[in-house]
Every structure is written in C-alpha cells, then in structure tokens.
Structure 1
Amino acid sequence: MKLRIRNQKDVAAGAIYIAFGAAFSLGALNYNMGDAARMGPGWFPFWIGVLMVVIGAATAAAGMGRRATEDPLKKPELRTLAWIIGSVVLFGLLLQPLGLVLSLAVLVIVSSLASHEFGWKGTLANAVILILFSVGAFIRGINLQIPLWPHFLIN
C-alpha cells in the first residue's frame, strides 16, 4: 500500500505539532521530572509536549487517510505574516513604555492590517474587548505588575 498525502494542510499542521511537541518534551528533560505524586518542574511541559506529538501524528495521519479531502498547501503570504509577526514584536517593545492599554491597541490595529477584510469598526471593537479582557484577567485577576498607562500620563 502506497501512502499518499491527500490533505497537505493537515499533514503540514501535524508536522508542526510534532516538531514543537518534541522540542518541548526534549527541553523539559533538562529539568527535574519527579513522578506523578511529586511532580517536578519538567513534568508538565514534558507531557504537554508528548500530547502535542500525539495530536500532530493523528492530524498528519488523517491528512493521509483515504477519506481525507484533497486540500493542497498554498504558498504562504509573506506580507500577511510580516504584519502579524511585526505587531507581536511591536507589542513587546511598547509594553513597558506605553503600558498595556495602548500597546494592546497597537497590537490589534497593526495585526488587523494583515486581513483582506480590514475594517475600522471591527478592529476597534476587537481592541476594546481584548483590552477589557486583558485588564480583567492579568491586572485585576492575577495581579501582574504591568503598567496600564504610560508614565507620562500618570504623573
């Protein structure tokens, strides 16, 4: 029986899961594993990595199954990828000087430029929802010590 890749997207996604899962598991071996009763710092990332490998293998196998729909892998859109990666890098650079609220607004607006269906209403609504959720979860919920606003606005 000859294996044939029918769904290239599933096989590629499975390969990515396998690669990241293997990297997590191998990296976790540098920490004390412990056992099920006394878990060490390497226990959780190791088993999450193993789970990712299993999910990746199942996804890749599904892409090679007889019932898989033909779905070729498209050429990556580098412009879209650049907007998204750039927005995350920009968020990281702006977080301390601008605070959480403004850096999240920049993240959403810049990453929205990657979309072919960009619209200001949806972008601003997404920004408001993400900011409210992040402030509630990270600042109020788990009390992260991240500035909300730039220092020049507070002083």
Structure 2
Amino acid sequence: MKIKSQKDFFAGVMFTVVGVAFAWGATTYNVGTGARMGPGYFPLMLGIVMAVIGLVIMFTGLTVETATGDPIGKWAWKQVFFILGANLAFGVLLGGLPSFGIPAMGLIIAIYALVLIAAQAGSKHALPSVLALATVLAVGSYIAFIWALKLQIQVWPTFITG
C-alpha cells in the first residue's frame, strides 16, 4: 500500500502512538465506571479518542491523493532544541534539583525563563512583546493556581521571600 500523503500518515502515527501510550498508562490507575469515575478514567478515554483520531488521519494519508504526496520536510532542530529546553528549564526552575544543589526558583521566574527560552525558537524576537507575554502568563498562572486553586507552589525563590 502506497502512502499518498506522508504528512497525514506520520501525523496519524504520532497521534496513535501517544494515544495508546496515554491509555496504557491510565490503566495503572483505578479507572472506575462512567457513573463513578476513577483517576484513570479521563486519561484512558482521552488516550482512546486520540488513538482513534490518529487512525482516521493515518487512513486519510493512505487513501486521499495529493498532488505532491505531501513529503515530510527537514526537521526543525533549532525549534525542537529551544522548545524542549524551555520546558526542561521550567521544570528545573520550578522544583529545583536538590541532588545537584540547585534550589527551586519559583513559579514566576520559571515562567519568565520558559517564555524567554521558547521565544528563541522563532525567527523574530521582539523582546518587549515576549516580556509582555511572560508577564501575562505569570500573572494568569498566579491567579489560577495560587489564588483560585490554592495550590502550594513556591512563587518566588527563598532568597527573596526569606
């Protein structure tokens, strides 16, 4: 069978693999029933839906003819590096790495680092708009997670708050 749209086919493969992984991981939790849902119910259903959507997209990539076959282009390594690096930096700054002696820097600094590093993945860097976005995300995260949900997340580094 010939792949008629490489982009659709491999996007479907990605969706299917991620969906199956989520569904499989959710089975380690108590799933429960539709009337009495456990902590694994939502991830299981989300994984199943995602896998089914992936299968539909894969089928489309195998059956729908495109003019050029929609070949997959080169990998955008710069963007992959900066986006993954931004998420890694966010996790390290938010929680710290006590085994390496790196203290937690808190939510606000972690969000600013996330946005500033991820902005490097783009082709245009406008520092004022990046800082505005970081400020909106930091304020919104504070309101949502600290004020509204009352989560116990460190907001500032301990050398600032004492």
State the TM bucket, normalised to the shorter chain.
0.7 to 0.9
Deviation at 1:112, TM superposition (A): 0.6
Which residue of the partner structure matches residue 22 of structure 1?
Answer: 20
5+ residue gaps, structure 2, are 96-103
5+ residue gaps, structure 1, are none
The reply to whether residue 107 of structure 1 matches residue 114 of structure 2 is yes
Which residue of the partner structure matches residue 80 of structure 2?
Answer: 81
Deviation at 1:102, TM superposition (A): 1.2
Which residue of the partner structure matches residue 116 of structure 1?
Answer: 123
The reply to whether residue 94 of structure 1 matches residue 101 of structure 2 is no
For the residues of structure 2 that align with 1:85 and 1:143, how far apart are their CA atoms? 28
Q: 1:8 touches 1:63 (CA, 8 Å); kept in 2?
A: yes
Deviation at 1:68, TM superposition (A): 4.8
Q: 1:62 touches 1:68 (CA, 8 Å); kept in 2?
A: no
| 1:1-150 alignment runs, 5 A limit | 3-66=1-64, 68=66, 70-96=69-95, 97-150=104-157
Q: 1:112 touches 1:118 (CA, 8 Å); kept in 2?
A: yes
SS at match of 2:106: helix
Q: 2:12 touches 2:55 (CA, 8 Å); kept in 1?
A: yes
For the residues of structure 2 that align with 1:99 and 1:40, how far apart are their CA atoms? 31
The TM-score normalised by the length of structure 2 is: 0.84
Deviation at 1:67, TM superposition (A): 5.5
The TM-score normalised by the length of structure 1 is: 0.87
Deviation at 1:92, TM superposition (A): 0.9
SS at match of 2:64: coil
User: Which of structure 1's runs of 4+ aligned residues deviate more than 3 A?
Assistant: 67-70
CA RMSD of aligned residues (A): 1.9
Query: Percent identity between the aligned chains?
Result: 37
SS at match of 1:98: coil
